[in-house]
Amino acid sequence: MGLCVAPAMMLLLLLGSPSSAGRNRCLDAAEACTEDARCQRLRTEYVAQCLGRAAPGGCPRARCRRALRRFFARGPPALTHALLFCPCANAACAERRRQTFVPACAFSGPGPAPSCLAPLDACEHSRICRPRLLAFQASCAPAPSAPDGCLLDEAPRCLRAYAGLVGTAVTPNYVDNASARVAPWCDCGASGNRREECEAFRGLFTRNRCLDGAIQAFDGGWPPILQDQLHVHQDPEHSLVQVSSTDGLLVGSSLLSMLPVLAHQPLL
Ligand SMILES: *[C@@H]1O[C@H](CO)[C@@H](O)[C@H](O)[C@H]1NC(C)=O
């Protein structure tokens, strides 16, 4: 019995812990992508690239990032944005969100985080990155004319611009699974006499109430196409009850019913 429960519990963790906070919307978003041929194909491509091997201990980051840019440029925005901005009420969901685009290759590197001046300089010299960073600055910047400092109408444009940065030299990601805070993988510790410039750049992500607001507001913009997913994961407790209160046979069958979900795991 013990041997059967362990993998089942692991699956439940992957599925998102059952809680009153409800279902795992990042999982819903992942499944919606799986069911859409184009989303699924583009995601499979970037996952394959991002999990590839380059030098020992490394990964083909340039190819991984290129495939990610293609995912966001060509995938259905309703689905790609749902994957990127799925609202979370628990750590399992937020961890999945953080892992969505294979951050070990696309986002962080081996070794300590570099100064933010490195990705900033790289971006300013890149014809792909530079216009995207400018667009992000323009559409996510606080607007002095608005009452709360942010134009709510701008939120969708801000999120599109943010998504446009994924796969560039300044690829941002969620910093942990306990918040919706985002940042590129860098800090301003060793930025010398360019400290202010460094902090200003990093602050575009870490101290930007318009970006935070836009990500929060995505909740309301949850694509109708995903409402169909609601019934699928309504009640994770069901599987928990089965697993913990029955013998190996039933455990086996509840595991089987989860296999399609397990099959998606490597893609996320
Ligand atoms: C959340 O992140 C922490 C720190 O990285 C990690 O130890 C923990 O396992 C994560 N939680 C989930 C549910 O993945």
- Rounded to an integer, what distance in angstroms lies between the CA atom of residue 33 and that of residue 83? 8
Q: What pLDDT does residue 253 have?
A: 34
Q: Please give the number of the atom of ligand 1 that sits closest to the Cα of 13.
A: 13
Listed by start position, the domains of the chain span 2-262
Would you give per-residue pLDDT tens digits along the chain (268 residues)?
Answer: 333 434 444 444 444 444 434 679 999 999 999 999 999 999 999 999 999 887 777 899 999 999 999 999 999 999 999 999 999 999 999 999 999 999 999 998 778 999 999 999 999 999 999 999 999 999 998 877 777 788 777 889 999 999 999 999 999 999 999 999 999 999 999 888 999 999 999 999 999 999 999 998 887 556 665 655 444 444 343 333 233 323 333 333 333 333 333 333 333 3
Q: Helix 25-35 and helix 248-264: axis angle, to 10°?
A: 70
Query: For residue 30, what are its two tokens?
Result: 């992942």
24: left (phi over 0), alpha (psi -120 to 50) or beta: beta
- Rounded to an integer, what distance in angstroms lies between the CA atom of residue 129 and that of residue 82? 23
pTM (two decimals): 0.76
Q: What pLDDT does residue 150 have?
A: 84
Residue 186 C-beta-side C-alpha neighbours within 13 Å: 26
CB 46 within 8 A of CB 105: no
CB 130 within 8 A of CB 211: no
Which residue is closest in CA terms to ligand 1's atom 12?
92
Instruction: List, chain by chain if needed, residues with CB within 6 Å of any ligand 1 atom.
Output: 91-92, 95, 177
Q: Helix 25-35 and helix 91-99: axis angle, to 10°?
A: 40
Ligand 1 pocket test, pick from 95, 98, 176, 265 with the greatest ligand atom count within 8 Å of Cβ, gives 95
CATH number of 2-262: 1.10.220.110
